[in-house]
């Protein structure tokens, strides 16, 4: 996708608007073309600004998110990411063909997943977002959605930084600074030099947002930054040991060994 993404934020909470706007401003290919806090303003803003995507609160003081969409002509409807503190609207939202459904509170990683879906849909549709939403509301598939394949030449975008909350503090971690990541029940531990940051997230979902050319899974519980790998040594049985530049020793399971070696080959 050659052009920039035009985004609108609609939420009646000051903090939520600030958080969404902050996440969007950190994305190099996104322009915020409008921010507002109620449904009636949202309708006028969406008609006037013609955005690619709206991050839309379900519950608004006057006119709710569903009513905002109903008030728009099909050609005026952008892609929609619903933002709400409640999960029970999800079924209705996805029936309408929304791109994603963010439940508050969410972090930068979860937001990154939603924005990746927006980019994918924009590559598929290239201007037919409204017709796709209408067709899904009617229970049919639009021709643009079924016949237009995603561009294979468009490089995937990956997280550039991760926001981690620690009590009242917020840490912004550059992904390139991460040494390795390990799962810990429903959390992940992110190792950056001598610091360890704990984040509530699944390792699988985090791994999907990282650059596969830089990060590799070496165990079901471990992801490593390839730039930090110094060598691989034999371990016990079929296992091997990945040794990082700082001397950290991590277990490399057989199922991931060949993939790791392929990623480390010159020219890849």
Task: Give the CATH number of the domain where residue 32 resides.
Answer: 3.40.50.2300
Same domain for 115 and 180? no
Among residues 147, 164, 196, which one ends one of the domains?
147
Same-domain pairing of 141 and 55 = yes
What span, in angstroms and rounded, lies between the C-alpha atoms of 179 and 213?
Answer: 14
Report residue 244 as tokens: 């990082």
Judgement on whether residues 178 and 121 belong to the same structural domain of the protein: no
Q: Which residue did the predictor score with more confidence, 103 or 151?
A: 103
What the block records as the tokens of 171 is: 């840490």
Measure the CA–CA gap between 57 and 55, rounded to whole angstroms: 7
Handedness of CA 225, 227, 231, 232 (dihedral sign): positive
**CA angle (10 as vertex; 6, 12 as ends), nearest 5:** 160
Are 84 and 123 in a shared domain?
A: yes
What's the pLDDT score for residue 135? 40
pLDDT at 131 over 80: no
pLDDT band (50, 70, 90) for residue 264: low
Q: Average the pLDDT over 29-53 and give the result.
A: 94
Residue 168 lies in a domain: no
Do 131 and 42 share a structural domain? yes
Tokens 């020793």: give the residue: 249
Same domain assignment for residues 114 and 198: no
In a domain? residue 159: no
DSSP 177: G
* Dihedral angle sign, alpha carbons of residues 210, 213, 217, 218: negative
- What CATH number did the domain enclosing 251 receive? 2.40.50.1020
Q: Residue 121 domain-assigned?
A: yes
Of all residues in the chain, the percent with pLDDT exceeding 70 is 84
Closest CA to 112 of 223, 219, 30: 30
Q: What is the tens place of the pLDDT at every residue in 62-73?
A: 888 999 998 988
Find the domain containing 211 and state its range: 174-263
Residue 165 lies in a domain: no
Structural domain count, the chain: 2
Residue 140: predicted pLDDT:
35
Model confidence at 153, in pLDDT bands (50, 70, 90)?
Answer: very low
């Amino acid at each position: 996708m050659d052009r920039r993404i035009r985004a609108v934020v609609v939420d009646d909470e000051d903090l939520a608007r600030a958080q969404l706007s902050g996440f969007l401003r950190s994305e190099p290919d996104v322009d915020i073309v409008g921010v507002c806090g109620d449904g009636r303003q949202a309708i006028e803003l969406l008609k006037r600004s013609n955005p690619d995507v709206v991050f839309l609160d379900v519950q608004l003081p006057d006119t709710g998110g569903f009513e905002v969409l109903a008030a728009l002509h099909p050609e005026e409807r952008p892609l929609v990411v619903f933002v709400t503190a409640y999960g029970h609207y999800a079924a209705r939202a996805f029936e309408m063909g929304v791109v994603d459904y963010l439940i508050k509170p969410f972090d930068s990683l979860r937001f990154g997943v939603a924005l990746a879906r927006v980019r994918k849909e924009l590559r598929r549709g290239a201007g037919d977002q409204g017709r796709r939403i209408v067709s899904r509301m009617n229970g049919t598939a639009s021709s643009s959605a079924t016949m237009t394949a995603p561009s294979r030449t468009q490089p995937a975008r990956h997280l550039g930084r991760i926001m981690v909350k620690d009590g009242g503090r917020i840490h912004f971690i550059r992904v390139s600074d991460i040494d390795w990541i390990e799962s810990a029940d429903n959390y992940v531990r992110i190792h950056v030099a001598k610091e360890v940051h704990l984040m509530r997230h699944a390792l699988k979902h985090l791994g999907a947002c990282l650059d596969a050319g830089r990060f590799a899974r070496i165990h079901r519980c471990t992801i490593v930054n390839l730039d930090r790998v110094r060598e691989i040594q034999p371990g016990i049985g079929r296992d091997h040991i990945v040794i990082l530049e700082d001397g950290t020793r991590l277990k490399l399971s057989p199922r991931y060994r060949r993939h790791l070696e392929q990623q480390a080959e010159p020219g890849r």
